[in-house]
Every structure is written in structure tokens, then in C-alpha cells.
Amino acid sequence: MHFQEYLLVLKRRLSFFITVVLLFLLVSIVVGMTFTPRYDATSFMTFALEDYQTTENYKYSNYYAQEAALEFTRTVSGWYKDPRFQEHVFRVANVPFEEEDTLKTKLLGFFSTKRIERQNIRTKFSTTTNKRGEDLVDALERVIVHRLDAYNTVSKAKYKLAYSTNWIEKEETPWAILLVGALFFGIILSIFLIYIKEGYSGKVLLAE
């Protein structure tokens, strides 16, 4: 078929084409209106070695202290993989984990952590309310400090949480993605259905 013939087919079925596209747009609007907002929380922590010796003739203590803190962040990252760590954070925050448990958390875990630029660890997670996000980031830091103290006691080290901050952002309804996606798939499906119908009716190859 030539391009003009395709246009003729679409012209004959224009009302069907518009109906399918509008139906997809309507469904996307309904989905967007029923979208449950979530709150994305981020915790950023920096670790350091609290006590190290410096002398006039030895200038590298600070460097090795930073290297030690860098290695220690690997240990902290490992704490997140302990199931009891997550349970401890939720218990301290007084938040029922089952109310925050989703398919994503089952597959990937609740906390997403990443070591950033040597001595820093960034932790991300998503909650159903802003208040729970605040409670969980506060509990997370308290649990980290608790484990840090226990680690220092056992290992005789003097690591510390040198800096921490956190922020929470509301996850807005992704209207652009929903509407553009609905428009795209609506057009594709409507064209596909039109040519299926035209093929069965024997009109596809008829040019006016």
C-alpha cells in the first residue's frame, strides 16, 4: 500500500481512532488521580576516625585515618544487608514494616545504599507518609550510632559519625509519563486494530 492509501484507511476509521486514543487518555487520568503519593527520603552520612596521632616528623597520620574511615564505610554498608538491622530501624522508629512492605522492597530491600566519594554513605528509601520518613531517617541514624558504639567497644577503634543530613521529597504524580505513554500506546493500538478490521473486511487494498 502507498502512503495515501494508509491515510484513506485512517480517514474511514477516524472516529474509531479518536475513540481508542481518548479511551487510553481517560484511563491514564483515572490512574493518575488514584495514584498514591509516596515520599522519597535520603540520608547522607560521613564517617571518620576520631583519634589518630600526629607528630612533627610524621605527616601522614591524617591520610591513613581517612583511608581507615574509607574502609570502615564498607563495614557500615554491610550492616544494611543484615535483616536484623532493618528490623531494628523500624522498631526504633515505631513504624510497622508490613505497612511499608511492597513488591519493590521484597525484590530489592527497603534501604538502597551507595558509598559516595570515600567516607560517605547515601541511603534512600520510600515511605507512605512524610512523618514516617522523618521517623525512619531519625531511627536510621540512631541505629547506626548504636552499632558504631558497639563496634568501637569490640574493636577498640574510635570511629565516629562525623556528619549527617537528610531530606524528604514528595513523589508527585507522573502526569507527563502517564499522558504521553497513553497517547503513544493509544495511537499504536488504534492503528493496529484499524488495519486488522480493514483486513478482515477486505477494504485495506481498496483506494478511493
d(CA 117, CA 185): 42
For the cut 80, the answer to whether the pLDDT of residue 206 exceeds it is no
- Separation in Å, CA 145 to CA 87, 88, 155, 156: 16, 12, 15, 15
- φ, ψ of residue 116 to 5 degrees: the values are -125, 125
Dump strand ranges (E) for the chain.
Answer: 38-49, 112-116, 120-127, 159-171
Reported confidence tier of residue 61, pLDDT bands at 50, 70, 90: low
Strand, coil or helix: 115: strand
User: Which DSSP string corresponds to 145-180?
Assistant: HHHHHHHHHHH---EEEEEEEEEEEEE---HHHHHH
Q: Is the pTM of this model over 0.75?
A: no
CA distance 38 to 169: 9
- pLDDT tier at 207 (50, 70, 90 boundaries)? very low
Per-residue pLDDT at 49: 84
Ramachandran region, residue 112 (left: φ > 0; alpha: ψ -120 to 50; beta: rest): beta
pLDDT at 119: 87
